[in-house]
Each structure stands twice: as C-alpha cells, then as structure tokens.
Amino acid sequence: MNEDPIAKFKAAQKEGWAYFAPLESLTTPSAARLVKFAGVRAGERVLDVACGTGVVAITAARLGAKVDGIDLTPQLLDRARENSRLAEVEINWREGDAEALPFADGEFDVVLSQFGHMFAPRPEVAIREMLRVLKPGGTIAFSTWPPELLIGRSFTLVGSYMPPPPPGVSPPPQWGDPNIVRERLGTAVTEIVFDRDRMNFPALSLPGYRAVIERTAGPMLKLVEMLSASDPARLTQFRREYDALLAPYFENNILRQDYLLTRARKR
C-alpha cells in the first residue's frame, strides 16, 4: 500500500472523479470558449491536461489540431474514447498525472486545461510540467473557478467539512485569482491575458442541483460519502449551508457559474 500522503490524496481524487461524465454537457460549451480563446489552429500539437471525457481535446481536434489528452481517471478516459470515436477524430488518450506529464520538453504548441489542472494538489509542480512540455513561443491557456464566486466558495465550504489535506496541497480555487495566477506563471511567460465567462447550469430547485453535484463532482461526492457513514447530522448541516450559499446565484431555473480564463505565451 502507498503511504505517501500526496499519492494517497491523488488516489482519493481519482475515485471521486470517476462519476463526472454526466457533467460533460455543461463543460462542452465552455470547452469551445477555451479553444477559441487559446487560438488553436489546424496542424498544431495540443495537449489537454486533466481532459476528463475529452470535451476540450475533441473540440481542438475538430479544428484539425493533433491532440493528446491526459487524465487521472480511467472511467472518464473510457468515455473520452467513445466521444472521439463518435466525433470521428483521432486523439491520443493517456492515463496520467498533471504533475508528471509523460511527454518530452517542448512537444506542444498549445497546452490547455479546463477546470482540470487546478485539482492537481501542488500548483507549482503542475504548472512547471505544463510549461516544460510547451514549446518556447507556445500558448498555455486554462479555465478555472474564482475563489469568491459560486464554485470556488463551494470548494471552500466542502474543504471546511473535510479532514485537512496533506502539507503542500493548495486549495484549487486559488487558480481563479488573477494575482496568484500571475505569480505562478512567473517569468516563464509573457502576454498574460485574462477574461471571464459564465456557465449556466439548468436546475429546477437548489436541492435538485445539489443532488446532481453530490453524485458527480469529485470533492462533493467524497464529502457526502464520508459524512453519510460517520455523521449524518453534520451532513444535514452541510447541506443547509450549501443551499444557502447557492441561493444568490439561482434565478430563472439557472445556477450562474462564472469562471476565469487565462492565456499566456511561453518565453
């Protein structure tokens, strides 16, 4: 058994994300937004980091790019294979870790990640890897959840009910703060550009939305699994707090989920 705390943390994440596939209908439109924002062109070599069911990778491949997609979770890669078969595009899918990319230095013209690399526990390791496999002059672009908005605040709430992560693990929504993003990209890049967009999540009620998220979103799924077994009263309290957090973002049967886009050029 692996006792390395970071490896154990990733193993738990891998289990948690196994049920994410139904949410691909929500991340499909934002995938097109990211691919356009990055300016992907036919013939370019593109890497989709933490690709999930492949929504970004397939969008780039449909433009004629030569695409690799890598993710920690095999169940999502099975779905990605099926999605690329249906889309009639060739993509090299690989199971692997954003913190240890199995590619040579400077292999890619474009490195992308949609709500993905932000879940790698050690940001400095993930970004070093993403920049390593990118060519000088190449484009890195990603979409992330800001800490002060719905999804970022949800992660903070979920985290407050979980045991503390191992030392060195950073909260994912830090990747949604432009100041932190600038710091993490550091002097390795130029021409940093930020933008924002909105994901509209249809829902008939807040408990209805919560039920979907509890079954599909990794960190939430793990929390509910833990509290159902250990402390149902605390689970009830969590759900009450969660619904209160969501309420201001819910209008016209839509949960409003705003996100940050970042693009930069490697020096």
Q: Which residues bind ligand SAM (CB under 6 A)?
A: 10, 13, 17, 20, 24, 27, 50-53, 55-56, 71-73, 76, 97-99, 114-116, 119-120
Q: Which is nearer to ligand SAM, 72 or 89 (CB)?
A: 72
Measured CA to CA, the distance from residue 248 to residue 244 in angstroms comes to 8
- Provide the minimum distance between the beta carbon of 70 and ligand SAM in the complex, in angstroms, as a whole number: 6
* Number of residue whose CB is nearest ligand SAM: 52
In the numeric block, the tokens 């934002």 are attached to 30
Q: Which is nearer to ligand SAM, 28 or 243 (CB)?
A: 28
Measured CA to CA, the distance from residue 178 to residue 196 in angstroms comes to 11
- Provide the minimum distance between the beta carbon of 266 and ligand SAM in the complex, in angstroms, as a whole number: 20
- Provide the minimum distance between the beta carbon of 86 and ligand SAM in the complex, in angstroms, as a whole number: 16
The amino acid present at 43, given as its one-letter code, is G
Q: Which residues neighbour 252 within 8 Å (Cβ) at sequence distance 6 or greater? A: none
Q: Which is nearer to ligand SAM, 92 or 236 (CB)?
A: 92
Q: Which is nearer to ligand SAM, 61 or 191 (CB)?
A: 61
Of 129, 132, 254, the C-alpha closest to 200 is 254
The full length of the chain comes to: 267
Q: Which is nearer to ligand SAM, 20 or 175 (CB)?
A: 20
Q: Which is nearer to ligand SAM, 100 or 244 (CB)?
A: 100
- Provide the minimum distance between the beta carbon of 242 and ligand SAM in the complex, in angstroms, as a whole number: 18
Question: Long-range contact list for 159-168, CB < 8 A, 24+ apart?
Answer: 159/219, 161/223, 161/227, 161/234, 161/238, 162/219, 162/222, 162/223, 162/226, 165/9, 165/121, 166/5, 166/6, 166/8, 166/9, 166/121, 167/5, 168/6, 168/121, 168/122
Residue 146, CA distances (Å) to 22, 112, 131, 176 in order: 23, 18, 22, 4
- Provide the minimum distance between the beta carbon of 177 and ligand SAM in the complex, in angstroms, as a whole number: 18
- Provide the minimum distance between the beta carbon of 69 and ligand SAM in the complex, in angstroms, as a whole number: 9
